[in-house]
Amino acid sequence: MQQPQAIIFDLDGVLTDTSEYHYRAWKHLADDEKIPFTREENDAHLRDVGRRESLEYLIRDRQYSEQQMQEMMGRKNRYYQQCIRSMTSADVAPGGRDLLQEIRQRGIKTAIASSSKNSLTVLEHLGLIPLFDGIADGWCVVNGKPAPDIFVYAAGMVGVHTPDCLGIEDAAAGVEAIKAAGMRAIGIGPRERFHGADAVLPELSNLRLAQLLDAR
Ligand code: G6P
Ligand code: MG
């Protein structure tokens, strides 16, 4: 593609493997509540899905009051925060820091578009905050992915029109959000996970900018 003016990254499962920690935290909660929940279900249904929507998926038609749901969301978040507490700069996807530096050296803006309210904490642990021109997280918009809002918000933060942005995602809902925002979308993961992506790459590890721009 023509060189984008901004590259907007999802965080969990793209720049770092926190999607595994989200899974473990939901699994811990599901085990507490004796709700069956598998890794396969997590991959198929919870990747990039917001906290409440994830809980709603997990409990399905079991009856819980709003107060009980709030308590469960809080409990899952505490389990998640225990997982991310020990993260360090070594937890950035291999080559991720070099890729961000290369993008910035080329004069392209970098931004985060993550649904997670824990994004800033994770980025601080990873030492990545100085490498982003804009960080849009779960506190910024009301409608989560697959709505385009978080990507549009991130583009606004860096002052780039959405057609000039490239979005990078590891989840189907995220690719849908990027496309709805009018951006080019790259999916990171198995090809069968993504339908609407413009290009798919198996992983972000050790990628250079040219490979990102030439991806099909
Ligand atoms: C991201 C993750 C999801 C997570 C959501 C909300 O989209 O991929 O797994 O459920 O953020 O995260 P939070 O940290 O706010 O509960
Ligand atoms: Mg993700």
Structure tokens at 184: 């080019």
Mean pLDDT, 10 residues at a time, the chain of 216 residues: 92 95 97 96 90 95 96 98 97 96 98 97 98 97 95 98 98 96 96 94 93 93
Write down the pLDDT at residue 161.
Answer: 98
Q: Please report the atom of ligand 1 found closest to the CA of residue 23.
A: 9
* Main-chain phi, psi angles of 160, to 5 degrees: -125, 135
Write down the pLDDT at residue 80.
Answer: 98
Provide the 3-class DSSP secondary structure of residue 34.
coil
- Range 19-84 has CATH code 1.10.150.240: yes
How many angstroms separate the CA atoms of 209 and 66, rounded? 46
User: Rounded to the nearest whole angstrom, what is the distance from the C-alpha of residue 164 to the centroid of ligand 1?
Assistant: 26
Write down the pLDDT at residue 47.
Answer: 87
Write down the pLDDT at residue 1.
Answer: 60
User: Any idea where the domains of the chain sit in the sequence?
Assistant: 6-17+89-213, 19-84
Contacts of 95 (CB under 8 A, 6+ apart): 204, 205, 206, 207
Would you please indicate which residues are annotated as catalytic (active-site) residues? 10, 12
Write down the pLDDT at residue 48.
Answer: 87
pTM: 0.95
User: Rounded to the nearest whole angstrom, what is the distance from the C-alpha of residue 34 to the centroid of ligand 2?
Assistant: 26
Write down the pLDDT at residue 211.
Answer: 94
- Range 6-17+89-213 has CATH code 3.40.50.850: no
Question: Contact at 8 Å (CB) between 96 and 139?
Answer: no
